[in-house]
Amino acid sequence: MTALADLLIRRIAATGPMTLAEFMAEALMHPEHGYYSTRDPLGAGGDFITAPEISQMFGEMIGLSLAQAWMDQGSPASFTLAELGPGRGTLMADILRATRGVPGFHAATTVHLVETSATLRAEQAARVPGAIWHDCADDLPEAPLFLVANEFLDALPIRQFTRDQNGWRERMVGVTEGSLTFGLSAPAPIAALDHRLDDTQPGDIVESCPALPGIVGAVGQRIADHGGAALFIDYGDWRSLGDTLQALSGHDTTDPLAAPGQADLTAHVDFEAVANAAAPARHTRLVTQGVFLERLGITARAQSLAARMTDPALEQHIAAHRRLTHPAEMGDLFKVMGLYPDGCPPPPGTEA
């Protein structure tokens, strides 16, 4: 049993079952035993790998999209370049390198990173010197905002509800015979889920993310007020349906309750909720990651880089391009939604 599991079992014994969101928050961000608080989870030695760690091309395409959006809006003389959940800082470092040749872009920008993990902040500082850190999106400056959030929303704690004949039953974390277990609350009507009664039936599971509206809303409000653009990139779909909770340890799935604090916990993103929270900023339709990257020219970039490579680097490069774009790999699994101000074009790559 992990130290955090012991703490949670004692807490549940004292105060009763907790929501899945409460469990996830503790498992991921407990100050002493939380997953993100205590380690660098990325790469071959971690538990998962993200697109920026697969190839520099991913960050280059993101950088070109944001830089073009900046130019499309008249090249504001001062703006915030931000990332939510920047991991090791690899994506932002690639964005900055790819945009170095864009006239005036670097002179106008200040880099802001939203990160709560001290371990990851240290990694980011080595790759993005001069960055300014924040604990939450609400702390970002009131200024034109050009932002990326790659695999950020999927790590936010979720609640799960199972439809019942008489309402909804919430999935809870309790204790049985000294171990953490899942259970269901008593059925009850939930006003926030009334709109899901038309497209669900008894037994269906719907997920909601309590923190998502506030985070996306803060980004959308700044873009609406001051200009800018945002790219949210994650796995998920337009509307939540089904159990998508997943625990990862050592690049393999595991029981979410088995070792809290030692496995990553994620869930698919409900992009309909992202769109609703973005107002008064405008949002694009969902586009797959593969299509988004192809629109931005990733294949031409891949060919240019390949011309200077020989095996085995060439084989790894080809595999990375395929992994990022092919429908059977990350190409269709991951989706992209752009935010932008009314009256401006959407971020390049997200156009309908």
Residue type, 143: A
Give the pLDDT confidence score for residue 41 in this predicted structure.
58
Give the pLDDT confidence score for residue 352 in this predicted structure.
67
Asked whether residue 255 is assigned to any structural domain, the reply reads no
Asked whether residue 56 is assigned to any structural domain, the reply reads yes
User: In tens digits, what is the pLDDT along the chain, a chain of 352 residues?
Assistant: 789 999 999 999 999 999 999 999 999 988 888 888 776 655 445 556 789 999 999 999 999 999 999 999 999 999 999 999 999 999 999 999 999 999 999 999 999 999 988 888 999 999 999 999 999 999 999 999 999 999 999 999 999 999 998 789 999 999 999 999 999 999 988 888 988 988 999 999 999 999 999 999 999 999 999 999 999 999 999 999 999 999 988 767 889 999 898 888 999 999 999 999 999 999 999 999 999 999 999 999 999 999 999 889 999 999 999 999 999 999 999 999 999 999 999 999 998 6
Asked whether residue 352 is assigned to any structural domain, the reply reads no
Can you tell me the distance from the alpha carbon of 113 to that of 131, in angstroms, rounded to the nearest whole number? 7
Q: Are 259 and 249 in contact (CB under 8 A)?
A: yes
Cβ-proximal residues to 22 (8 Å cutoff; 6+ apart), any chain: 157, 173
Q: Nearest Cα to 274, choosing from 149, 171, 163, 190?
A: 149
Which tokens belong to 151? 């695999």
Asked whether residue 256 is assigned to any structural domain, the reply reads no
Q: Are 28 and 5 in contact (CB under 8 A)?
A: no
Return the CATH number at 123. Answer: 3.40.50.150
Give the pLDDT confidence score for residue 43 in this predicted structure.
47
Q: Are 229 and 223 in contact (CB under 8 A)?
A: yes
Whole domain around residue 126: which residue ranges?
36-154+210-238+267-340
Asked whether residue 135 is assigned to any structural domain, the reply reads yes
Which tokens belong to 292? 């988004």
Asked whether residue 320 is assigned to any structural domain, the reply reads yes
Q: What is the 3-state secondary structure (H, E, C) of 236-292?
A: EECCCCCCCCEEEECCEEECCCCCCCCCEEECCEEHHHHHHHHCCCEECCCEEHHHH
Asked whether residue 254 is assigned to any structural domain, the reply reads no
Asked whether residue 196 is assigned to any structural domain, the reply reads no
> What's the domain count of the chain?
1
Which tokens belong to 153? 């929303």
Can you tell me the distance from the alpha carbon of 263 to that of 260, in angstroms, rounded to the nearest whole number? 6
Q: What is this structure's pTM?
A: 0.93
